[in-house]
Structure 1
Amino acid sequence: MSIKTSNLGYPRIGEQREWKRSLESFWKGSITEDELHTQMKEIRLNHLKKQMELGIDYIPINDFTYYDHVLDIATMFGIVPNRFQYSGGVVSLATYFAMARGGEAQACEMTKWFDTNYHYIVPELHDAKPTLVENKPLKAFKEAKEELNIIGKPVILGPFTFLSLSKGYKKSEFSNLLSQLIPLYSQVLSELKEAGAEVVQIDEPTFVTDLSADDWNLIKQVYTQLANATDINLIIQTYFESVDQYLELISLPVKGIGLDFVYGKEKNLNSLLTYGFPQEKILGVGIIDGRNIWKSDLNKASKLLERINEIVPYSRQLIQPSSSLLHVPVTLKYEEALDPLVKEALAYCDEKLKELTLLKEIILDRSQFEDKLKEHQTGIYELSESAWRSEKKLNELKTNRITHFSKRAELQQKKWKLPLLPTTTIGSFPQSTEVRQTRLKWRKGELSNENYEQHIREYMKKWIKIQEDLELDVFVHGEFERNDMVEFFGEKLSGFAFSKNGWVQSYGSRCVKPPIIFGNVEFTEPMTVKEVVYAQSLTDKPVKGMLTGPVTILNWSFARNDISNKEISFQIAEALLKEVQALEEANITMIQVDEPALREGLPLKKEKQADYLQWSIEAFRRCTSDIDDLTQIHTHMCYSEFNEIIDAIDAMDADVISIETSRSHGEMIEAFEKTTYTKGIGLGVYDIHSPRIPSVSEMSSIIERALKVLPAERFWVNPDCGLKTRSEEETIAALKKMVDAAKKARENITISSQS
């Protein structure tokens, strides 16, 4: 009996975020392009060595990137927007990074990778003529073979998914564009076959979404053409959910099919048991959770594999993670400070690969590895039986504000007397080296609580003065005491643990360290009141209280997997309501409860979306409804794909919502052309993810277009998102232009009303 292990993708960032440091050193001009390539190669090869040492049979290559794997496909095919003045040939590193980060030209749009917290760069196909300018998978394959004698498994984003994730074409053009891509994919695959590649993983996560019969006809044509063009073994890999059109999928002319038996377990397993599986094909069994950090129950996993063995023998199974391990931290070995009860229940990337190896050993000879299995399972059991996970009864909370928005708005305007098109920011100001070093010294005990608090007050005082000078209308305190918008709150609530090195990539070199929700969440004491009250004492302008909402805290944490996400979000909402009420009692009555991650958690299956939106909106309202009419609730949401959930956004009943739209402003405006939105709203007028500072006229044009479909008396002017990643100079310059653009728009409205 034999069975093989396979990995779908390894985190790029390195054990100590070496990848991030190399990129940022290059962007700052501290290292040359040659030095960057050398450092990246070292990181890349180290990842392959480690997987080889961990005993993985099929090691992925070409999963490494300098920024984003979708951008890699676009540039591999020479798909570069005209504004970057690309003239053909291999896309330079300068152009590659300009597409991702901006510069003289606006960066390409960035949005969420399915329902994860990873962001990809959206390819733009306006008048594109795709051509293969560089076979990146081939380079990666040859490097692994020549440097380490590894016959790697190339990983390539599939043509259907790549095109589905792109923009800049009409739906009627999809089939024609797809036909242009097939010869390019065929050439990539043929060259890999010639170089000695045995198996290629073609990622097609779009296959788990709601596709039509016409879509599947196209998919069949695509893979028939690829099969005719090259005889290399292709494994179509799906993940994040189940595949509804199972029979269509398994009929494709490929060597193997990869299915998610974690997040799509019930439906995928039912399809397998009901319809069987082709005898000539390999089944990739995604059985280790690729998106969360809890240990897998290997007893349950082995039983599932035994059941699958009745349909697909072990010899034709690949046991693997449910998705790429891009979404989890690299290794637990640096987590000395975690409570042992929590740590022993965790598995990061390397530990998950060890789980695959152990699972393989158990299948081959369970008796020999029984002690090893028992040791593994102990950590799972002990945490589940701890007091931290005792049953918690939720309280009944208000989920509706008593007074209708229109009346609230009238009362709030009488109180605040804000001008037309009020200006504000989303929350954070630049986290300079000085700010970060101050916080680090305090955490190390090198700075007393009193001295640390004094430093934070000095930063707040400085930026209140800057906001006064800029003539913003609504201020923020700057969040200088916060390392991360989720981690900050998790540290002050019970039920959370924090890793030392649990970093994952969010976008580009931006890495986040999600909190770990391991037990019941409880409010212990006020978390934000002191800082905001101090900031408010420095100005007559309103200063917003700044909180992170329950669904975002949930979605941007590694959540416990023994109770539902709905229940966890309600526990967090109950705790946040107490903070909202504490701010009210301190006379902070403009409060922003951010939900940037609400949209990203939307299930991929339409049949599951209504339920998710219902409890997500209820969670938000649970922490924002039991308050006074004069308390103005703001919220912020990131990224642009909101068209299908406008009604849900309205149902949040926030007094003011700000939405990131600068990279895809036109699409958002189209949504409001079709839907009437009457509450306060700010569509971001410039992109904070790019160092580029747009002109007053650019911002003005965004405001002008928005005002064609949104009422001026409800419109706010703000950046796309928080400003913590920008420099002080960039921030001040951009905000000055933003305020000038708002003033210009007010003047135009006044002139128009008088004419």
Structure 2
Amino acid sequence: MTNNREQFRPEDHPNDHFLLTSIVGSYPKPKWLNRVSDLADDPDSKFTDDHLHEAHDDACRVIVDEHERAGLDTVSDGEMRRNEMVEFFADRIDGYEFNGPVKVWGHNYFDKPSVVDDVEYEESWLVDEFEFTQSAASKPVKVPITGPYTLAAWSFNEAYETDADLSYALADLVNEEIEALVDAGARYIQIDEPALATTPDDHAIVGECLERIVAGVPDEVRIGLHVCYGDYSRIYPELLEYPIDEFDVELCNGGYEQIDVFTDPEFTTDLALGVVDVHTTEVETVEEIKENILQGFKVVPPERLTVSPDCGVKLLPREVAYRKIENMVTATREIEAELDAGEIDLGPEVSAD
């Protein structure tokens, strides 16, 4: 694992210590964007795909600006162009088809796709999105991609002998997409594998997928893996074998009851720690978030800790999401200053290199 994190330190960073602040992916969409999307789907309206495209561009600019005003070190477009984390990609991969929504829980429906033929990579899924976001941003842009294991697990497999075979085929496509993103200038890519939390016995399949995904990717490109919720002890320490720079965990919602899972054996990759809860509209205070950040020092030294929300924040009211992230950044900068001043005792287990 190489140290590819320093490239994200701002030139005017106020402290000697640097804890990278980031966002996991999704962000609340402006209400007007949802309205425009409805109008674009209405055959009786005068809204066209061109109007929707313009609205997506405008929303991207707005959300990038919110991320930068909040002070994040790396930003995203909040996934303004994405409808759902599997549907969005399945719609762009040859071999998938849609047959209608499937009820998943309560009154919620998911347009679960089917793989009916060999999956193939025809044209980029995210490069245009990334290039536009990069043009709108003054900070480095982080690119989240739904991982191949989740793309396989949350689809009907009608073409491959096993779901593992489908996962590996999709991993090869994700590798092609990452190579295209890297060529376009992307340096921070996050693989989202929420399905691993529901089937942790498949951690070896995810590991093989990741080996395929990162094949040929330059060391300076930061690769993160996000796995939200679940019993992390069922994939630890196996995940330490994954070829990633950063493992992103959702622990704030559970009161950090699982933080000790990552202390034995020693955690050898970087840790991206969720420090605000995306499941509550209560905005954590700066002091509360600082206490949460200190939990990360039980696992890694400061130079290997990334600070982020637990997961995507798209289900929160937009003002709440902004205030949580703003407080998160403020708390992080205060922790850095206290580290500089020697006011935080890291203890014998975790000390700066």
Q: Deviations over 1:276-332 (max 9, x none)?
A: xxxxxxxxxxxxxxxxxxxxxxxxxxxxxxxxxxxxxxxxxxxxxxxxxxxxxxxxx
Does structure 1 residue 683 correspond to structure 2 residue 273? yes
Q: Deviations over 1:650-672 (max 9, x none)?
A: 22221122111112243321112
SS in structure 2 of the partner of residue 530 of structure 1: helix
1:546–1:592 contact (8 Å) kept in structure 2: yes
2:276–2:289 contact (8 Å) kept in structure 1: yes
Q: Relative to 1, partners in 2 of residues 1:518 and 1:436: Cα closer, same or farther, differing over 3 Å?
A: farther
Q: Deviations over 1:34-59 (max 9, x none)?
A: xxxxxxxxxxxxxxxxxxxxxxxxxx
State the Cα distance separating 1:702 from its structure 2 match. 1.2
Judging by fraction of residues, say which structure has more helix. Answer: 1
2:210–2:243 contact (8 Å) kept in structure 1: no
Give the counterpart of 1:480 among 59, 64, 80.
Answer: 80
Residue of structure 2 equivalent to 1:52: none
2:64–2:133 contact (8 Å) kept in structure 1: yes
SS in structure 2 of the partner of residue 503 of structure 1: strand
Residue of structure 2 equivalent to 1:703: 293
Identity across the alignment (%): 27
Q: Relative to 1, partners in 2 of residues 1:478 and 1:740: Cα closer, same or farther, differing over 3 Å?
A: same
Q: Deviations over 1:61-82 (max 9, x none)?
A: xxxxxxxxxxxxxxxxxxxxxx
Does structure 1 residue 749 correspond to structure 2 residue 351? no
Q: Distance in 2 between matches of 1:711 and 1:754?
A: 12
Does structure 1 residue 456 correspond to structure 2 residue 48? no
Report which stretch shifted further, 427-436 or 485-494.
Answer: 427-436
Q: Relative to 1, partners in 2 of residues 1:432 and 1:681: Cα closer, same or farther, differing over 3 Å?
A: same
Residue of structure 1 equivalent to 2:350: none
Q: Distance in 2 between matches of 1:593 and 1:501?
A: 25
Q: Distance in 2 between matches of 1:578 and 1:498?
A: 23
Q: Relative to 1, partners in 2 of residues 1:671 and 1:730: Cα closer, same or farther, differing over 3 Å?
A: same
Give the counterpart of 2:112 among 514, 532, 536.
Answer: 514
State the Cα distance separating 1:618 from its structure 2 match. 0.4
> Letter of the aligned partner of 1:498 in structure 2?
F
Residue of structure 2 equivalent to 1:560: 158
Q: Distance in 1 between matches of 2:151 and 2:230?
A: 20
Does structure 1 residue 641 correspond to structure 2 residue 239? no
State the Cα distance separating 1:747 from its structure 2 match. 1.8
Q: Deviations over 1:220-248 (max 9, x none)?
A: xxxxxxxxxxxxxxxxxxxxxxxxxxxxx
Residue of structure 1 equivalent to 2:250: 660
Does structure 1 residue 734 correspond to structure 2 residue 334? no
Does structure 1 residue 614 correspond to structure 2 residue 212? no
Q: Distance in 1 between matches of 2:250 and 2:344?
A: 32
Q: Deviations over 1:582-628 (max 9, x none)?
A: 101111121112112223123xxxxxx3xx32222101221122211
> Across the two proteins, how many residue pairs are aligned to each other?
337
Q: Distance in 1 between matches of 2:298 and 2:210?
A: 30
Residue of structure 2 equivalent to 1:583: 181
Structure 1 unaligned regions, length at least 5: 1-404, 603-608
1:681–1:715 contact (8 Å) kept in structure 2: yes
Residue of structure 2 equivalent to 1:501: 101
> Letter of the aligned partner of 1:417 in structure 2?
R
Does structure 1 residue 673 correspond to structure 2 residue 263? yes
Q: Relative to 1, partners in 2 of residues 1:654 and 1:665: Cα closer, same or farther, differing over 3 Å?
A: farther
Does structure 1 residue 426 correspond to structure 2 residue 24? yes
TM-score (norm 1): 0.43
Does structure 1 residue 466 correspond to structure 2 residue 56? no
Does structure 1 residue 527 correspond to structure 2 residue 125? yes
SS in structure 1 of the partner of residue 74 of structure 2: coil
Report which stretch shifted further, 445-454 or 678-687.
Answer: 445-454
Q: Distance in 1 between matches of 2:97 and 2:29?
A: 24
Q: Deviations over 1:531-565 (max 9, x none)?
A: 11111112231101221100111122233376101
Residue of structure 1 equivalent to 2:9: 417
Q: Relative to 1, partners in 2 of residues 1:413 and 1:502: Cα closer, same or farther, differing over 3 Å?
A: closer
1:566–1:616 contact (8 Å) kept in structure 2: no
SS in structure 2 of the partner of residue 621 of structure 1: helix
> Letter of the aligned partner of 2:331 in structure 1?
A
1:431–1:725 contact (8 Å) kept in structure 2: no
> Letter of the aligned partner of 2:268 in structure 1?
T
SS in structure 1 of the partner of residue 237 of structure 2: helix
2:253–2:277 contact (8 Å) kept in structure 1: yes
State the Cα distance separating 1:513 from its structure 2 match. 3.0
State the Cα distance separating 1:466 from its structure 2 match. 1.0
> Letter of the aligned partner of 2:96 in structure 1?
F
Name which one, 1 or 2, has greater alpha-carbon Rg.
1
**Match runs of 1:366-385 below 5 Å:** none
Q: Relative to 1, partners in 2 of residues 1:511 and 1:433: Cα closer, same or farther, differing over 3 Å?
A: farther
SS in structure 1 of the partner of residue 333 of structure 2: helix
Q: Distance in 1 between matches of 2:342 and 2:58?
A: 43
Does structure 1 residue 571 correspond to structure 2 residue 169? yes
Q: Distance in 2 between matches of 1:712 and 1:510?
A: 40
State the Cα distance separating 1:692 from its structure 2 match. 2.3
Residue of structure 1 equivalent to 2:351: none
State the Cα distance separating 1:432 from its structure 2 match. 4.0
2:274–2:311 contact (8 Å) kept in structure 1: yes
1:555–1:601 contact (8 Å) kept in structure 2: no
State the Cα distance separating 1:511 from its structure 2 match. 4.3
Does structure 1 residue 437 correspond to structure 2 residue 35? yes
Q: Relative to 1, partners in 2 of residues 1:453 and 1:681: Cα closer, same or farther, differing over 3 Å?
A: same
State the Cα distance separating 1:745 from its structure 2 match. 1.4
1:551–1:620 contact (8 Å) kept in structure 2: no
Q: Deviations over 1:247-292 (max 9, x none)?
A: xxxxxxxxxxxxxxxxxxxxxxxxxxxxxxxxxxxxxxxxxxxxxx
State the Cα distance separating 1:709 from its structure 2 match. 2.8
> Letter of the aligned partner of 2:24 in structure 1?
I
2:93–2:122 contact (8 Å) kept in structure 1: yes
Q: Distance in 2 between matches of 1:638 and 1:510?
A: 20
Residue of structure 2 equivalent to 1:719: 309
SS in structure 2 of the partner of residue 578 of structure 1: helix
State the Cα distance separating 1:510 from its structure 2 match. 5.2
> Letter of the aligned partner of 2:243 in structure 1?
D
SS in structure 1 of the partner of residue 247 of structure 2: strand
2:101–2:112 contact (8 Å) kept in structure 1: no
Q: Distance in 1 between matches of 2:344 and 2:149?
A: 45
> Letter of the aligned partner of 1:416 in structure 2?
F
**Match runs of 1:149-164 below 5 Å:** none
> Letter of the aligned partner of 1:697 in structure 2?
E
Residue of structure 2 equivalent to 1:540: 138
Q: Distance in 1 between matches of 2:160 and 2:55?
A: 41
TM-score (norm 2): 0.89
Structure 2 unaligned regions, length at least 5: 346-353
Q: Which has the higher contact order (CA 8 A, sep 6+)?
A: 2
